[in-house]
Amino acid sequence: MSERIRRSRLSSPLVWPRLRALGRPLIAVTLGLVVAGLLVLLTGKDPAAAAVALVKGSIGSPSAIAGTLSLATPLLFSALAFAAAFRGSMFNAGVDG
């Protein structure tokens, strides 16, 4: 691929908004993981072991997945109700969860 074609694809008006839309959540997740790792490190534990325990406890087995889904379902429905009301220009602060 020539340099001109590569440059024209990167300068397309559709590329940068997509990259920006992907970049913000990626930065937020990265910062969240770094802060969580620092907090675990401050307690004197191994952050990698804590991350492995978190993953194994939430999706490490079929029963763990079922437990995670059963705890997350009410929160997801609450978020969906809040988003629908907010989208309709009605602020609803009475969502349980």
How high is the pLDDT of residue 13? 65
Q: Tell me which amino acid residue 26 is.
A: L
How high is the pLDDT of residue 92? 66
What is residue 14's DSSP assignment? T
Whether this model's pTM surpasses 0.75? no
The tens-digit pLDDT sequence of the chain (97 residues) is 566 555 555 566 666 777 778 888 999 999 999 999 999 999 999 999 999 999 999 999 999 999 999 999 999 998 898 888 888 888 766 666 5
Q: Annotate 33-84 with DSSP letters as a single string.
A: HHHHHHHHHHTTS-HHHHHHHHHHHHHSSHHHHHHHHHHHHHHHHHHHHHHH
Residues 41 and 47 sit within 8 Å (Cβ to Cβ):
yes
Computed on alpha carbons and rounded to an integer, the radius of gyration of the chain in Å comes to 20
